[in-house]
Amino acid sequence: MRAFMGIPYALPPVGELRFKSPVTHPGWQGERLVIKDAPICMQRDPFRRDMLIEGSEDCLYLNVYTPEILTSEPKATLPVMVWFHGGGWQCGAGISTFYGPDFLLDHDIILVSANFRLGPLGFLSTETLDCSGNWGLKDQLEVLRWVRTNIASFGGNSSSVTVFGESAGGASVTYHMLSDKSKGLLHRGIAQSGTYFNPWAQPAHKGVAAKRATKLAELVGCSGLHKQKQDWSSKLKCLRSIRAEDIVAALYDMFIWDFDPMIPFPPVIEPPHKEAFLTLMPRNVLKPHGLELPLLLGATSEEGLLKTAALLNLPQLMQEFKTQFDRVIPIVLNYDHHDIAKQMEITRQIEHFYFKTGHNYNKSNHQNLTDLISDGWFVAGIDEYLRLRLDQQKSDGVIGPTYVYLFDHKGSASFSEIFKGDRNEFYGSCHAEELQYLFPIGRELFVSAIPTVKDLQLRKIMLQSWVNFASTGNPNPSNSSILKNLPTWLPSTRYPVEFVRLGSKMDDDDEVQQLFRLEAKLMQHRVDFWRELKPHVPSNTHFHHAHTDL
C-alpha cells in the first residue's frame, strides 16, 4: 500500500483561531514529506482513568492510504472510506498506530483517517456567536470537504464516500447525515455503537454549555475580568491566551461523580449563523438528508462494560455506586436535569426492571448491571435512530437501506482490559470490541494476545462486509469466498428490527456459519422498557419519555 501521512487540512487552531471554525489549509509549493503521523490532538483520557495530558493543539492533519497495486480489475476511481475515531469527543486520534490500514487495504479502497479537536478545545460553547461551539464536528466537515476536493488525486471517487466511525465517531456519522452543511459530502454511513440520540451525544439543554464554559473560565483563572456575567469577549480573550494544557487539564474538574457525566463538552445547538453546523435539536429536524442514504449500524452485546469493568474491579467505586445509587445513577445516565421527584421515579423504575432482587451484582453476576449501562448509554439511542429510519420508510418509503448488526464475540483479547477489567476474566463483548477486527489496534493494546482461527474468520467476514457496503451500499458479496456460503444480510425494513449477530462466545464453535447469524427483535424487551420509561406525573402535565430527555 501507499501511505500519505500528516497532511494538513486546516491551519493550526492556535492563538486567535482557538475556539473558531477551522480555516482551510492553503496548500504549499513544492514537495512535502508525508511519511509519519502528525501529533494527536491535545487530550486527557477519562476512559482509561489516565492522568496524562498528551498531544498538541496543532493537530488538524489527516492520513490517506491507497493500494499500491489493484487486486481486481483496474478502476478509474476507488470507493473512499473516511474514518472518524471514537473516544467521547475527548480522546483518541486518527493516526496509524490507532487505526492503521493493514486490514482494510487488503481490499481496493481508499482509506482516510483524521484528527479533529477534542474536549473543551473542540466543543467549548458560550451558546452565543462569541463561541458557538462544535469545533470538532466542523473539523470533520473540513475533512469531508478536503476529500471532495483532493481525493481524485489519490485515485479515489469523490462521489463514493462512506463515512464510518465508532462510539462518538458513530454519533458523528449520524450528525453528518443530519447537518445540511454535510449534504452531498457523504454517500453512505456506518455508525458503530453511537448515534446522536445516545444521551452522551445529544446537545445539552439550553444554558448547560454556557454554565460549563463559565466554570472552565473560573478554573483556569479567566472569570474575574469583567463584571457583566454575559460579557464573553474578555473571557475568551483570556482563554485564548491560556496554555492549552491547562484548559485540557480542567476537563477532569467538570465531572460530578467518578468520570460522569460521560462527556462534559458534547455537541451544542448554535445560534443561526453562516458557519453553524447544528441549529436545531435533532428531534426537531423533520427529515434529515441522511435518511435517504444507505446505513449500516449496530452495537456490541455488552457495551456497558465501558463503565462496569471499572465498577467490578475497583471495590471502593462499586461500594460508592451501590450505597449512593439514587444520587449517582441520574448523573451516570444523564437524567439529573429533572427535578428530584422525577429523578426518583425514573430510578425506581430502573431498579424494578434491572435489579428485582436488589443490588447484589458482582464480578460473577453482573449481566443486569452491564445491561443497564449498555441500554442507558447506547442501545436505547441506537434503537430510537432505527425507529426514525423505519418509521419514515413506512410513511413515504424514500429511505436508504438499513443494515443492522450485533457484535457478540469472545475473542483472544477484550477491550474490557483497557477500561480496568481483569485481564484473565471475560465479561462479554465490550464497547469498542469490534475495532480490533477492522484495524490492527490490538497490535498496540493487546501485545500478547494471539488471534484464534475464529477471530481471523470473523475479521475476514467483517472486513469484506464493510468494504462491500462502502463500495455498493450492500454488505453482501459479489465474489467473496468468505461470504458466499453465509446467509444473505437483509436490510431491516420494519419494526421489530432484523439484524445479523456477528461472532460467537462458544469455545467449541468452529463453523464459520456460527459467526454470522440472521436474527430479529434486537434486545426487544429492553428497548421497549426504555421507550416506555417515564415518571408518574399528573395527567395534565406533559412529559416526554425519559430516554427522550436523557
Catalytic pick from 57, 142, 166, 303?
A: 303
Residue tagged active-site, from 96, 125, 132, 167? 167
Cα radius of gyration rounded to whole Å, the chain:
23
Backbone phi and psi for residue 254, each to the nearest 5 degrees, phi listed first: -90, -15
Cell of 273: 449563523
Q: Is 303 a known active-site residue? A: yes
The position carrying cell 453482573 is: 366
Using alpha carbons, list the distances in angstroms from residue 457 to 297, 299, 438, 443, 483.
21, 19, 12, 18, 10
Tell me how far CA of residue 213 lies from CA of 79, 91, 124, 265, in angstroms: 41, 19, 6, 9
**Catalytic residue status for 431:** yes
| Cα 155 to Cα 145: distance, rounded to the nearest angstrom | 16
- Total H helices, total E strands in the chain: 17, 12
User: What's the grid cell of residue 394?
Assistant: 413506512
Half-sphere exposure of 188 (CA within 13 A, CB side): 27
Reduced to 3 DSSP states, what percent helix, strand and coil does the chain have, rounded to the nearest 5? 35, 15, 50
167 is catalytic: yes
Q: 85, 187, 409, 431: which one is catalytic?
A: 431
* Phi, psi (degrees; rounded to nearest 5) at 146: -60, -45
| Calpha distance 234→230 (Å, rounded) | 10
**E strand map for 87-215:** 110-114, 156-166, 188-192
Q: What three-state secondary structure class fits 229? A: coil
Q: Which residues are catalytic?
A: 167, 303, 431
